[in-house]
Structure 1
């Protein structure tokens, strides 16, 4: 169901998905022209990122929360402004187009049963109606962006070759890592005390793993709470850009045979051991071209989208109250 969950998350960028916390419902975060953005909407939009804050310093946690809430509010303001543009320009989407998008999501997730699909939506705090509304907004926003931003987004052959040269230089200096890990799981809704208890457990495992002669694979089979435990925590060989950023940073910084301090990801605390490293041969320009083109298109689209939203914001009456 991962694709559906991700699709739900991306679609949610076009309008609130689930009922917000009751204590926040009546608070106003901002007024965009005549539209109100409730604090509950901001809280809901920022919720996935807020749940990943785990800094032990209360002051830093508060700063991170404030920054995430501001980012979420800015996103919601941009969406309100674009919704106004969509209405003013008379951009529409048919029920048939929404049907096609729903069918595409179901195909990607191999869901053929209507009841199963609705059950998955309910687990994400959605109804079929609210999900279809979000998909419709997605279609409308995509059309607006194709009209206003699309003509500005161009990737030239020179852009691609420059990006490839940068990639090739970095790749020639990089390596591929073969690592194992031991996972101490942490529930997404865990309290700070539970998170810290799990960290201490992982720290004890890391110290045990560093004992002379310790078989890390055997330790992983005995102590890891992750799906790779049966394989001795084996992650195989991987390059940069494959693993979660925090995990990857540590893996590539370790020397062969080193065991890491506990590393936090959405799954919990990981203890890593790097078994081997080897040089990586850069892929050819022809092999990399589609990937580089997609990356550059995304980067340029994001850049011009930000500019477009700022232009809309300058012309609008935006009163931030948060």
Structure 2
């Protein structure tokens, strides 16, 4: 029962972002079904031959408990959720320990996989070049003046006047963009001269996106309004769309393909455990 209660607590949060008691009937059934399935898998994994000799690193349980508690607003909310799930501190600790052991056992099983070689990864790369397309990006800076009718200096009329003066200064001295951003911009990027970094299409508000991708390197936008306020953008440079080179992706791709191979291996292993259990129950 302890394991099932813990997994229901986890399922409620992961599936719906709620405590178990806050779920409606449909959500509760879904969380209970997921919890039952995981509890079954947990029991099978812990009783498997591969579980022998697996131990946790010192402090692993305490670290996991701290991470679990951090999901909640405060200790009161955390302990209320435990009470609703009928878990006390001792039972929770035991459930967390079991869960971490399952992760360690599965990691041990996955670790048996033969690593993907760089040659195999390179074959995959050239067979799937379309997956390694890097979209056009633009390095951009911005100056932002927010609109807030509750603040005298940010009321629409005053904010518009402030931004118009900044635009006039930039028209005369475009090279002072970073300086003026540091002095006037209300975006955190002001501390870095308004630098937003490399921006791909769709990352900004639609009006800003359209303005930025209409600029040439070194050009400034007109004043653009978004949900945040008033903006002036500068396009520093354009990075065209391109295919990432093999050397850029080689090691990361080899690692990802190895992880995918390990994931498939553990899935087959878990399915074998469940199939064997089903067969033994049928025979019995």
Greater gyration radius: 2
The structure with higher relative contact order (CA 8 Å, sep 6+) is: 1
TM-score bin (small chain): 0.3 to 0.5
Give the TM-score taking structure 2 as reference length.
0.48
